[in-house]
């Protein structure tokens, strides 16, 4: 069992299974990703936010956690999320960009330094932004993967347990780069083996994998004639 190999692994519920099971799962996910859209997977949107439940292994400062919660956030152009064919597992089919050889998240406005009156609105409610002027934003700060992760496992940073994934749904199964305005929540659920879904990120290649647990898609959305799904991750 993996739990016997490393004390950090014991705490990470996703790796309760054997090495062979983990390796096989990763191999299948990589094969489906390499097969491409329509053959190996169906893209249904772009990830906007992944929310995580509290975890003792996370080194995120309490101040940040209280402001925005424990999350990974893409203001726009997030990684594409898909379902594998035929398993129905969740896949992230685009890698995180590298910054100085290390996987990087986009910089986001600092929640501790909010900007007052970003649209320069006067007492009459009239905005005084110039025609080509964007609303003022707070200074940007980095989202540090190593501060949000729970643990390390092999070459992966482990982000666990996932609470919810917010997806901006794609318009048309064939054109996954075309986005609509609808946001879809994907809830993380415990699986039959008591695991919850985790995100694994290779910080040196940008590869992202989901492992463990189950997910539930709201019945307000119809993905490929499936009104709702509760599938193994």
Number of neighbours of residue 134 by Cβ within 10 angstroms? 9
Residues 36 and 124 in one domain: no
CA–CA gap between residue 31 and residue 24 (Å, rounded): 11
Residues 137 and 29 in one domain: no
Task: Write down the pLDDT at residue 214.
Answer: 85
pLDDT in tens, the chain (233 residues): 233 334 444 344 444 444 558 888 899 999 999 999 999 999 989 999 999 988 888 877 766 666 677 899 998 889 999 999 999 899 999 999 999 899 999 988 877 777 777 777 778 877 877 787 777 777 888 888 988 898 999 999 999 999 999 998 865 433 444 444 578 889 888 877 777 899 999 999 999 999 988 888 765 455 543 323 333 44
State the total domains in the chain: 2
Residues 71 and 160 in one domain: yes
Task: Write down the pLDDT at residue 201.
Answer: 96
Start-end of H helices in 36-164: 62-68, 145-148
- CA dist list (Å): 225 to 44, 69, 219: 13, 34, 11
Beta bridge partner(s), residue 51: 71, 164
Containing structural domain, residue 16: 2-105+142-232
Residues 36 and 114 in one domain: no
């Amino acid at each position: 069992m993996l739990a016997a190999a490393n004390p950090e692994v014991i705490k990470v519920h996703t790796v309760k299974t054997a090495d062979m099971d983990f390796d096989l799962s990763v191999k299948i996910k990589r094969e489906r990703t390499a097969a491409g859209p329509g053959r190996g997977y169906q893209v249904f949107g772009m990830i906007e936010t992944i929310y995580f439940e509290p975890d003792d292994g996370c080194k995120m400062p309490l101040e940040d956690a209280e402001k925005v919660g424990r999350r990974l956030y893409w203001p726009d152009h997030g990684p594409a999320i898909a379902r594998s064919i035929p398993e129905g597992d969740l896949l992230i089919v685009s890698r995180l960009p590298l910054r100085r050889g290390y996987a990087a998240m986009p910089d986001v406005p600092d929640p501790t330094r909010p900007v007052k009156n970003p649209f320069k609105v006067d007492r009459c409610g009239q905005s005084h932004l110039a025609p080509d002027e964007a609303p003022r934003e707070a200074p940007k700060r980095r989202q540090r993967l190593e501060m949000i992760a729970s643990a390390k496992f092999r070459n992966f940073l482990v982000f666990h347990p996932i609470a919810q994934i917010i997806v901006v749904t794609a318009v048309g199964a064939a054109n996954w780069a075309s986005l609509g305005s609808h946001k879809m929540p994907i809830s993380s659920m415990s699986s039959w083996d008591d695991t919850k879904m985790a995100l694994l990120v290779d910080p040196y290649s940008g590869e992202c994998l989901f492992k463990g647990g189950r997910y539930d898609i709201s019945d307000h959305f119809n993905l490929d004639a499936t009104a709702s799904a509760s599938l193994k991750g």
